[in-house]
Amino acid sequence: MRIRPGFLFLMLSHAALPASCAGTAGRAGTGGTRNRVPSSGLGVCIEPGVIDAPETRGERVRTLRLMAVGDILLQTENGKEPFERINDDLNGRDILFGNLETVLSTSGQRSRKRWVASAPPESVRYLKEAGFDILNIANNHILDLGREGFVATLDMLEKNGIAYVGGSAGRQSRRGVVIERNGIKLGFLGYTTGRLQRPGDISLHSLRERDILADIDAVKSRCDFVVISLHWGTENCYYPSPQQIRVARRLIDHGATLILGHHPHVIQGLERYGDGLIVYSLGNFQFDTSLMPGRIKSSMIVTVDFDRQGIADHAVIPCTIDENALPAVAVGAEKELIRKWISNLSGMVSSGRITRNWWFEEIAGEYLAYNWESYKYRIGRHGIAPLLECGVWLITPFCLNCYAGIVRKRLRALRAGGSA
């Protein structure tokens, strides 16, 4: 059965991060006293050797290379293997990270949402053959087949030697995962936003800042650098919210070194902040994008080189996703277009132009339309319960801010038209 992507993920509280390979030079309100990386004026670094990273190239020798990709569905068209066009490009790293946006099971209590993401258990071989070392499982699809599907997924990952963060089959584990390569230890933590119905005997880590700060403190004693995976943001939105930006920076100030965001299904910018790097959204990686806007077919691989002092270098490799849901490294004009797009997105964050009012004006139309379609489907299938949920959703503070954003944007357009 073909599973199409798309998600009903009600984000009533958002946390996100600005994006840009360019650093921020001690902006007011960022908090902390850590040294800021001076801005290079470059929006993004594209592949090692193409654009120099600020102040590091030629001066520090990398010891560990982390490669990170976004959402992975493990569903393809026409029987294609999900990574067949990009397997070779995933080599040359010490650790490979991704967000597993599906359940590795075909049995369990099916969620009543519009799109349910699941893949046959044997699909785990694609992850193993591609060389994934660690996956985030804290997301809005890991419980699509209930507790049974969740436990089956973790079991398949464990049997195939793939580590995971973001949850466990019991309540005991918030310790994170530490992976050592070449004498450097990276500690991984994972979290998700959203109101997911969790069975009582499993753990799925929610994005609560106070908990993350405590977890950073705990894992730092076991590793050299902390990597945090955050499933957050607004679907199909190209910009992190101001609140996300603030939270991400506070996590870096508290001791995290790298933040890897996902969930919006689109690329967002990157930002060097303090001693760390924030990737606000990695976007889709291996995903059926047929029902989504064009830019969702753009993807990226982020490489981060660590030495014993921290992040020595980082780069972005532009990718595309074809009609069979297969990712590949972009080439030629397409590569340049994606590079410029990432640079523009990163520049929006580093410039400080993402204000609260502006952000709601930008995301309101897409957010409301996307979630309304999901509610219509659920109401048609399940009747009164989702209808009541929809009524509550329509008057949430988040939706009210969206309505205000639409009004402001239209009034501004009318004023501009009247003065022309």
pLDDT (tens digit per residue) in 185-230? 999 999 999 776 676 678 899 999 999 999 999 999 999 999 999 9
Q: Is residue 191 a contact partner of residue 275, using CB atoms and an 8 Å limit? A: no
Beta pairing, strands 298-307 & 310-321 = antiparallel
Query: Which residue, 102, 135, 88, 111, is CA-closest to 3?
Result: 102
C-alpha pair distances (Å), 10 with each of 5, 59, 283 = 16, 45, 18
> pLDDT-derived band of residue 50, with 50, 70 and 90 as boundaries?
very low
pTM metric for this prediction: 0.84
Please list, in sequence order, all residues whose beta carbon lies within 8 angstroms of the beta carbon of residue 45, skipping any fewer than 6 positions away: 21, 51, 52, 53, 313, 314, 315, 316
Letter string b/e over residues 104-113, b meaning 16 or more CB atoms within 10 A of that residue's CB: bbeebeebeb
> Domain spanning 20-353 has what CATH number?
3.60.21.10
State the average pLDDT for the chain.
85
Give the integer Cα–Cα distance in Å for 34 and 51. 26
Q: How many CB atoms lie within 10 A of CB 239?
A: 27
pLDDT at 178 over 90: yes
Query: Which residue, 246, 247, 279, is CA-closest to 264?
Result: 279
**What would the pLDDT profile of 77-120 be if each residue is shown by its tens digit?**
878 899 999 999 999 899 999 999 999 999 888 887 778 888 99
**What would the pLDDT profile of 25-43 be if each residue is shown by its tens digit?**
333 333 333 333 323 333 3
Give the integer Cα–Cα distance in Å for 238 and 362. 9
Q: Which tokens hold the place of 109?
A: 């209590």
Domain ranges in the chain are 20-353, 358-419
Q: Which residues pair with 231 in a beta bridge?
A: 192, 262
Task: Provide DSSP, 196-263.
Answer: ----TT-EE-B--HHHHHHHHHHHHTT-SEEEEEEE-S-TT-SS--HHHHHHHHHHHHTT--EEEEES
